[in-house]
Amino acid sequence: MEEGLAYFWLIILFFIGLCIGSFLNVVIYRLPRGESIALDRSHCPVCGKTLAWYDLIPVFSYLLLLGKCRACGAPISPRYLLVEFLSGLVTAVLFFYFGATAVFVKYLFLCLLLMVVFFIDLEHYIIPNSLVIVGLIGGIVLNIAARDVGFISALIGMLVTSGFLLIVALVSRGGIGGGDIKLAAVTGLFLGWPLGPLGLFLGILAAGILAIFLLLLKKKGRKDPIPFGPFIVLGTIIAAFYGNQLINWYLINFIKI
């Protein structure tokens, strides 16, 4: 593709991503509260004022209003800005690498789904079943379309990732919930064997390191809950894009092949 035209498409994709992010913000806010996602117009959660169309332009409205509700001045969470910006960035970057392919759609879907899971679990300590179902159906369809993870690989990835976390949950008795195990089934399905289990392993590693820091800094006690879903999300994203390099690096340096 001619260079100028390629940049044009990346900018278009970035703006499409911003709009998707705007929708994801609605999902992140409403899903754990049991509110309808499709119906009612967006409104300020503090004063209830319905937002006008010019309050709903991704990023720009937030910056224009300086992160405050136009009617009551209540602060709007910077999460709105972050989710929109990340969606735009991820959409453009993945398109840059994969082009208009099924692989692009698969990893965009995975990243956006995991972002929604990340922010809901971080705030509410739950992973809604509806997201798990959307993830399982999306994973099956997109694996077939993208053809980068075969059926057997996906099946083994799903069973090993969720099965291992189930064992960890039984042994550790608490901290890891059913939602985390179901999420691990989704990430294992998407990445297959061995990247799915690698993602979980990286998540456990990151959670362990953070837990040690928090205990040392005395920010949290041993019994304070920390949601585990966000760690599965981070580990899975690293495994999806750098997993093969990590495995090669490990084999070369530690197994000396």
Residue 46 near Zn ion by CB under 5 A? yes
CB 195 within 8 A of CB 87: no
Minimum CB distance to Zn ion, residue 30 (Å): 17
Residues 153 and 224: their CA atoms lie apart, in Å, by: 37
Please select the residue that binds Zn ion; options are 20, 27, 69, 117, rule is CB under 5 A: 69
Minimum CB distance to Zn ion, residue 53 (Å): 17
CA angle 145, 115, 177 (to 5 degrees): 100
Minimum CB distance to Zn ion, residue 196 (Å): 43
Interface mask (CB under 5 A) for Zn ion, residues 70-109, using x and -? -xx-x-----------------------------------
Residue 47 near Zn ion by CB under 5 A? yes
Q: Look up residue 11 and give its two tokens.
A: 């900018």
- The H or E element containing residue 35 is none
Nearer to Zn ion, 11 or 72 (CB): 72
Nearer to Zn ion, 72 or 215 (CB): 72
Strand partners, 68: 75
Nearer to Zn ion, 67 or 163 (CB): 67
Q: Which of the stretches 21-29, 46-54, 124-132, 202-210 binds Zn ion when contact is defined by CB under 5 A? A: 46-54
Minimum CB distance to Zn ion, residue 45 (Å): 8
Residue 52 near Zn ion by CB under 5 A? no
Residues 228 and 5: their CA atoms lie apart, in Å, by: 42
Minimum CB distance to Zn ion, residue 83 (Å): 19
Helical axes 151-172 vs 129-146, angle rounded to 10°:
150
Nearer to Zn ion, 11 or 47 (CB): 47
Q: Look up residue 51 and give its two tokens.
A: 């937002």
Nearer to Zn ion, 69 or 176 (CB): 69
Residue with tokens 């100028």: 4
CA dist list (Å): 220 to 125, 216, 234: 16, 9, 21
Using CB under 5 A as the binding rule, the residues of this chain from 153 to 182 that contact Zn ion are none
Minimum CB distance to Zn ion, residue 51 (Å): 9
Question: Any residues with CB less than 8 A from the CB of 42 and at least 6 apart, and which?
Answer: 26, 50, 51, 55, 56
- Candidates 107, 112, 121; CA nearest to 232 is 121
Q: Could you list the residues that contact Zn ion (CB under 5 A)?
A: 44, 46-47, 69, 71-72, 74
